[in-house]
Amino acid sequence: MFYNNTSCDIYMGTGAGKKLMEDIGMARKSVKIVSPFLSPGLMGKLMDLHFKGIAVQVITTDSLGGHYSGRTNMVPGLIDQEVHVDGHARRSKNRGMIRARIFKGLGIGSGIAFLILNFWLMDIRLLWLLPLVILFYLIGHQYSSKAAKKKVYSYSYSPLFPFKVVRTKDDNGFGATYLHSKIDIIDDRIAYLGSLNFTYRGTRHNYETRVRINDIPSVHKIAEEFDFLMHEAKMPTVSQQEWGRHQYLESFLKGK
């Protein structure tokens, strides 16, 4: 997109995000953010706006390096998990576990009986009990293994508000077109462009350059570009299911 003849305010230096945060705090209808890096605390502020009825949309990347290495954009509460229970699978699993306990119990009981009888009678003919002991145990183990593999729970995820995560690598592992833009739009009447990521360091401490635009036709053009990035741009993205699996620990229910 190219658009000229726009009037704007210029912010440079540390604290370049102060006015941005003030404008976001005064939002009445909507806040749209494009930022490769995010601070969980600032995401919490956007969640607060959402609960106040402000329409929030965010576009970011799956790459968090440097100061934010090891952190995640998926702050608690940003995506909801719904657990689905397969009743038929659960009943089948329970039946399998009961049968496993029965046959393993028979195997253990037969083994104890064999040891006791062999100790008292010393009769080689009692060896025929050994295959029976092993058979009972193997049947019980087979039932147990099958039951453990039955999936009782499945999961679906939905974001608190529209949230797009762009991959930094495509499906083949190669570098994709990197989302480097930083765009903030408030109520479709104020827009910010520049170097500032939506992070605490960016808004408070880093030396940043920003322009603030309140020329309505220009802001609408920027909003159109945001909508294109959110809904139409052909970029590899992280699905909601994958995003949710990163946020929630499912392993404690695995196989249950």
Q: What is the pLDDT of residue 76?
A: 65
Average pLDDT taken over every residue of the chain: 82
CA distance 222 to 240: 26
Q: What is the pLDDT of residue 65?
A: 41
Q: What is the pLDDT of residue 98?
A: 92
Mean pLDDT to the nearest integer, 88-108: 88
What confidence tens digit (pLDDT) does each residue in 12-45 have?
A: 998 888 999 999 999 999 999 999 988 888 888 9
Contact 65, 208 (CB under 8 A): no
* CA contacts within 13 A on the Cβ side of 65: 2
* pTM to 2 decimal places: 0.73
- Of 16-20, 124-128, 147-151, 178-182, the range with the lowest mean pLDDT is 124-128
Q: What is the pLDDT of residue 148?
A: 85
- List, in order, residues 6 or more apart from 218 with CB less than 8 Å away: 3, 6, 191
Q: What is the pLDDT of residue 21?
A: 93
Say if residue 48's pLDDT is above 70: yes
| Beta-bridge mates of residue 11 | 210
What confidence tens digit (pLDDT) does each residue in 162-212 have?
A: 989 888 776 555 555 778 899 999 999 999 999 999 988 888 889 999 999
Helical spans, DSSP H, in 57-207:
87-121, 129-149, 200-204
Query: In 10 A of CB 227, how many CB atoms?
Result: 13
Q: What is the pLDDT of residue 5?
A: 72
Helical spans, DSSP H, in the chain:
18-25, 40-51, 87-121, 129-149, 200-204, 216-231, 240-247
Read off the amino acid at residue 150.
K
Mean pLDDT to the nearest integer, 5-10: 82
Q: Which two tokens stand for residue 188?
A: 């479709």
Q: What is the pLDDT of residue 68?
A: 39
CATH number at 17-77+155-248: 3.30.870.10
Question: Greater confidence, 45 or 7?
Answer: 45
Say if residue 74's pLDDT is above 50: yes
With H, G, I as helix, E, B as strand and everything else as coil, classify residue 205: coil
Per domain, the residue ranges of the chain are 17-77+155-248, 87-151
DSSP single-letter state for residue 188: T
